[in-house]
Amino acid sequence: MSILVFLEHHGGELQKGSLSVLSKAASLGAGDVAGVIVGSAVAGLAEQAAKHGAATVYVADDAKLEAPLPQPRIDAIAQLVAEQGIETVLFGQSILAADIAAGLAARLDAGLNWGLTDISSDGGNLVGKQSALGDSVLVDVGWKSTPRIGLFRAGAFDPSEQPAAGTVEAFDVQLQEHSLAAEMVEQAHAEESGPSIEDANVIVAGGRGLGEPERFALVEELAKALGGAVAATRAVVDAGWYPYSAQVGQTGKSVSPALYVACGISGAIQHKVGMQSSKTIVAINKDPNAPIFEFADFGVVGDLHQILPKLTAALQARKS
Amino acid sequence: MKIVVCVKEVPDATAHKRIDPGTKRLDRSGEGALNTFDANAVEEALRLKAATGDGEVVVVSMGPERVLNSLRKALAMGADRAVLVSDDGAAGSDLVATSRILATALEREQPDLVLFGQQSSDSDGAVLWAAVAERLRRPVISQVAELTLEGGSLTGKRQTEFGYDVIRAPLPAVVAVADSINEPRYPSLKGIMGAKSKPQETVSLADLGVEASDAGPEGSRTEVLALSDPPPRGDTRKIEDDGSAADQIVAFLTEKRLI
Amino acid sequence: MTVRPSDFPAPFAPSDAIASPTDPADERIEVGVLIVGAGPAGLACAIRLGQLLEESPETAERLGEVPVAVVEKGKSPGSHLLSGAVVNPRAIRRLFKGRLTMTDVPSYGEVHGEAVYLLTRGAALRIPPPPTMRNHGNWVVSVSQLARFLAEQAESGGAAVLPETDAQKLLVADGRVQGIRTGDKGLGRDGNPLATHEPGSDIVARLTVLAEGTQGHLTGAAIGRFGLEGAQPQIWALGVKEVWKVPKPLQHIVHTMGWPLRKSAKYGEFGGSFIYPMGPDLVSLGFVAGLEYRDVEFSVHDVLQEFKTHKLVRKILRDGERIAWGAKTITEGGFHALPKRFHAPGLLLAGESAGLVNVPTLKGIHYAIESGIMAAEAAFRSLQRGESPARAGALESYDEELRGSYILQDLHEVRNMRQVFDKGFFMGGALASAMTVTKGNLPPKEFTIESNAERSLIRTDRASRYPAPDGKLTFDKLSSVFLSGNRTRDDQPNHIRIQRRVPRDLADLWVNMCPAHVYEAGAADGDGLVHVEVNASNCVQCGAISAKGGRLTPPEGGSGPEYTLT
């Protein structure tokens, strides 16, 4: 049984998400594990992949493959699957990876399970874990045939380095006509304005417990120190302290960042439904009975006015 | 220009969502509604139609007969007609089977542009367009936050993990729009009243020429094996600030490798 | 200083809800009969009209492309409906005679047993059901589900049912009702249009039927405009209801009186509870209290929570889970508060908005349906060739039929029963019994009542008795609003008209009264008045504020709760 992991790269670096899937695949002990890198001038990245458990790293290096568009990559992987008899192709979640995984499923008439948080090998067969319906239920999912395709949630695993022994094999991709139809006209890095709420990995949110609109500055400073976005509860948006576009909750946005810091937020259900799938929740509130403490991973009963500036300063000190 | 918008009915946002332990499928017996993200795609289609001055907007969906009620919302917004693939044999189709059926329905329509919404709010799926594009052998652009049409080609701008991309593709093409692309309109009262009398066609798998073995569980390549409760959220720690709370938070974030 | 809610009247005049058509004639939406409100009354009217028009294609043709339209402010028919509900089936049977039977109607079956208890904090004394509370032969329904069913029937009979459409203004011109104007959609908080703005429309009709239910926005305006005020002011009660999923089926319907309400007349706490089985695994329970209460700390939501801690109720709910919640006012003025006439030129009033509720029997749904049928028949007569709903007297027959029907006869018999509970629980109970036995002839006196907003406020430590929410048996208001399905768009204009600076007592009255946590009282200013903050998007449109000094107007169509089981 052989597993192929799609290795996404950006700015001359393999992405942590795909390396962590590679490490996971290697740890399954379910047969050969290979990685595939597709791009232009990417040969140098193969070594890093080998260090994370890829016995073979397939590299398609071609100027035509420079733009990170999905369809040429579907061609590349479909070709490898056919030529190398690969049974399983795994991806770490990203905009690009999702499009490749789904297109590949259609191309190969292969099953795709997405939103996976884990995978295990059960007597040679693979079983995925999927967290569904707002993380209220765990689903065991399987594949009825090979090839199998799996797309993992971001942050499902951590990458781990393993003894490097992989070989690198270059291959040429036969591109389909329709795969060349789309072209990248422009690519740019994010502006310096910080991430939007939906995309942010870290969110610092303020509620009525801040006491007055001016204290939102404390929230903004903390968000800046954490490299995160600022969010607000409905109550403070209603009161005009912060714009509606920053509202998180039932009638605002739903977010699931790696870290959500709730400042002066009681945790009413209307807010909770918009942020409960955050991976880690830190809450600061002066009311020890606030419902937020029932689902925060780390709760602090105390005065925001005291704690937030100290926390911001401590984080800034760490950075410098 | 002919635009097809692929839409889906999802359980109403207020419905208590559950997976039926018997069928291991999402229980869709309650009130249904048009997937809110699909309204952005319908809106974009209507804007493109208005900008080009002519053409047709068709909504295409899959599901039981009653899904027509949800499609009527798209018709009330201004779509011209609806096509529903409705067949008991299609229930329980996974991505492979769904994309196959949908692509067949789309081939029948021969649209210049196929639009999708950003994701479905029930299964959190956000992949179908890429599979459909592959079956149609059309270029695909996903997560599009700005869409412009010039001559025979489309340009889409989108946010990515790293910044933004601008991608151009010739028509016919498949595009999935982000929910930031527009603010869907309210259906006008006249639109609502007129929706019922717009053409609404229901087609079966046989009408499309899809073999029964290519649809439903038989045509699917994935399966649900078991359902279980998610693990508890882990311990919650709660401290009273004694002056060291900021340091303790930093220690906690470090421990969790969040900083 | 004595404070009355009526001392601080809402900045709203009924005439604010009346206008002439403004859309150019060719842009108006024209319908034959326009029905406002997709509840039992409005939908029964639409269904009956559909039946009549089917038999008379010639009349249907004259009504144009849309002979019958029903507008409904809720997301769907039934979204804003909440009731006990045990329904007397006679009107449903008449509506579907020869077409459907009761078993075709969504229900939880016939009532086979009942119990009435007089509660004290620690005990429940089972008493024989008073004659007005005997329910054999009646059916348990969810009125929300009933409306969905009726809406399907109305649509298949040819009516256009238009949800998410709020009737903002009554169009009146040339002395007659011409239709309604629907509300704008896509306005920002400040009232300015957003990018998605969709202006409202004039819907003009040959005849308009107002079937708005409790606290009808346009009904109030029409009563003022056409001088239809009744002999006594209208009054209301507020009901808060929950639906529970329970492991053990409840065998019979239960009503209680007494605890947790206080008996002394000075508190003005009148009401009781209901607990109904909805099939083998659901129970509907609610608490209803008259809005003549005076204590600023009184909260029906919290009284319901308190009620659930009684051992009688705990037993029924044991190991259960709350799956629905809602609140709504009930029109309680009865016979003396009925409008002078049930029609005006081009207009008919039907159902609860016309005051057709029998409080002692806790019934109104069959009156709603029956009056809807009568309105349809009167409308149909007035639309015959050579006749016109605009002609003076053309709609007179509706009043005659209503007055000759069991509805008005029933209401006349119990006409003073509700009012006497002003005298306190025991005195009121004794008088009510005498009235029941004598069909309202004894005692030989017509009782009067003051409007809910005229009641002077008192303050006791009522709130100290409410249980702290435990999230299992007892719940706070915000999590309850969430369960109502309310997900109203936040950035729309505030639809609740109140004075924003009022005495502390009045502010607290609103804060505690509102089951949906809409009002918050700020700190007192120098002049002793406090500022009232309004969280309008929490509103479940129960209507209590309109009884206690404020005025509820319809928010953007589609807003508010999305009840499905209540």
Q: Which has the higher per-residue pLDDT, A196 or A96?
A: A96
- Contacting B residues, span 163-192, partner chain A, CB-CB under 8 Å: 163-170, 173
Q: Is C237 exposed, middle or buried (0-12, 13-18, 19+ CB in 10 A)?
A: buried
Distance from CA of A115 to the nearest CA of B (A): 8
**Which residues are A137's β-sheet partners?**
A132
Amino acid at B222: T
- Contacting B residues, span 43-102, partner chain A, CB-CB under 8 Å: 94-96, 99-100
Scanning every residue of chain A, which has its alpha carbon at the shortest distance from the alpha carbon of C478? A268
Q: Among C34, C463, C431, C368, which Cα is nearest to C207's? A: C34
Chain C residues with beta carbon closer than 8 angstroms to that of A290: none
- Give me the pLDDT at residue A147, please: 96
Scanning every residue of chain B, which has its alpha carbon at the shortest distance from the alpha carbon of A259? B258
Q: What percent of chain A has pLDDT over 90?
A: 69
Nearest to C182 among B30, B189, B196 (CB): B189
Distance from CA of B204 to the nearest CA of A (A): 21
C132: left (phi over 0), alpha (psi -120 to 50) or beta: alpha
Best C562, C563, C565 residue to mutate vs chain B (most B CBs within 10 Å): C562
Structure tokens at B158: 């989108």
- pLDDT tens per residue across span A68-81: 999 999 999 999 99
Nearest to B250 among A104, A196, A314 (CB): A314
Chains touching C (at least 3 CB pairs under 8 A) are A, B
Count Cβ atoms below 10 Å from residue C195 Cβ, excluding itself.
9
Chain A residues with beta carbon closer than 8 angstroms to that of B253: 259, 282
Chain mean position to CA C363: 12
Chain B residues with beta carbon closer than 8 angstroms to that of C198: 185-188
The strand pair at A9-10 and A125-132 is best described as: unpaired
Nearest to A250 among C487, C491, C533 (CB): C487
What's the mean pLDDT when you consider all of chain A?
A: 91
Please indicate if any CB of chain B lies within 8 Å of the CB of C165. Answer: yes
Which CA distances in Å does C305 have to A281, C115, C287, C466?
31, 21, 9, 7
**Three-class SS string for C427-493?**
HHHHHHHHHHHCCCCCCCCCCCCCCHHHCCCECCCHHHHCCCCCCCCCCCHHHHHHHCCCCCCCCCC
- SS3 percent helix, strand, coil of chain B, rounded to 5, is 30, 30, 40
How far apart CA C337 and CA C356 sit, in angstroms, is: 10
Chain C residues with beta carbon closer than 8 angstroms to that of A268: 478-479, 482
Nearest to C162 among B12, B183, B192 (CB): B192
B104: left (phi over 0), alpha (psi -120 to 50) or beta: alpha
Give A51's pLDDT tier (boundaries 50, 70, 90).
confident
How far apart CA B166 and CA A184 sit, in angstroms, is: 6
- Give me the pLDDT at residue B159, please: 82
If you average pLDDT over residues A185-204, what whole number do you get?
79
Chains touching A (at least 3 CB pairs under 8 A) are B, C
Distance from CA of C10 to the nearest CA of A (A): 22
Question: What ipTM score was computed for the predicted complex, to two decimals?
Answer: 0.93
Write down the residue that tokens 């799956």 correspond to.
C323
Chain B positions with Cβ closer than 8 Å to C: 12-16, 30-31, 183-190, 192-193, 196
The SS3 assignment for B107 reads helix
For C109-123, give one letter per residue: b (16+ CB within 10 A) or e. eebeebbbbbbeeee
Contact C487 B183 (CB under 8 A): no
Please indicate if any CB of chain B lies within 8 Å of the CB of C562. Answer: yes
Best C187, C190, C478 residue to mutate vs chain A (most A CBs within 10 Å): C478
Please indicate if any CB of chain B lies within 8 Å of the CB of C564. Answer: yes
The SS3 assignment for C328 reads strand
- Give me the pLDDT at residue A301, please: 97
- pLDDT tens per residue across span A3-28: 999 999 998 889 988 999 999 999 98
Please indicate if any CB of chain B lies within 8 Å of the CB of C559. Answer: no
Contact A181 B139 (CB under 8 A): yes
How far apart CA A111 and CA A142 sit, in angstroms, is: 9
- Give me the pLDDT at residue C435, please: 61
- pLDDT tens per residue across span A213-253: 999 999 999 999 999 999 999 989 888 899 888 999 988 88
Distance from CA of C213 to the nearest CA of A (A): 28
- Give me the pLDDT at residue B29, please: 72
Chain C residues with beta carbon closer than 8 angstroms to that of A235: 535
The sign of the torsion formed by the CA atoms of C43, C44, C46, C47 equals positive
Contact B189 C195 (CB under 8 A): no
- Give me the pLDDT at residue C315, please: 97
Best A233, A238, A242, A295 residue to mutate vs chain C (most C CBs within 10 Å): A238
- Give me the pLDDT at residue A317, please: 92
Distance from CA of B118 to the nearest CA of A (A): 11
Distance from CA of B185 to the nearest CA of C (A): 5
- Give me the pLDDT at residue A239, please: 83
Per-residue model confidence as pLDDT tens for chain C (566 residues):
799 999 999 999 888 999 999 999 999 999 999 999 999 999 999 999 999 999 999 999 999 999 999 999 999 999 999 998 999 999 999 999 999 999 999 999 999 899 999 999 999 999 988 888 889 999 999 999 999 999 999 999 999 999 999 999 999 999 999 999 999 999 999 999 999 999 999 999 999 999 999 999 999 999 999 999 999 999 999 999 999 999 999 999 999 999 999 988 899 999 999 999 999 999 999 999 999 999 999 999 999 999 999 999 999 999 999 999 999 999 999 999 999 999 999 999 999 999 999 988 889 999 999 999 999 999 999 999 889 998 888 999 999 999 999 999 999 998 887 766 665 555 555 556 656 656 666 555 666 678 999 999 999 999 999 999 999 999 999 999 999 999 899 889 999 999 999 999 999 999 999 999 999 998 887 788 999 999 999 999 999 999 999 999 999 999 999 999 99
Least confident of A57-61, B197-201, C526-530: C526-530
Best C36, C71, C161, C164 residue to mutate vs chain B (most B CBs within 10 Å): C164
Scanning every residue of chain A, which has its alpha carbon at the shortest distance from the alpha carbon of C536? A238
Nearest to A250 among C482, C491, C533 (CB): C482
- Give me the pLDDT at residue C426, please: 55
Contact C198 B188 (CB under 8 A): yes
Least confident of A52-56, B76-80, B175-179, C500-504: A52-56
Q: What percent of chain B has pLDDT over 70?
A: 98
Q: Which residues make Cβ contacts (< 8 Å) with residue A212, sequence separation at least 6?
A: none
Contact A238 C487 (CB under 8 A): no
C439: left (phi over 0), alpha (psi -120 to 50) or beta: left
Please indicate if any CB of chain A lies within 8 Å of the CB of B130. Answer: yes
Q: Among A171, A125, A169, which Cα is nearest to A150's? A: A125
Distance from CA of B197 to the nearest CA of A (A): 33
- pLDDT tens per residue across span B172-181: 999 999 988 9
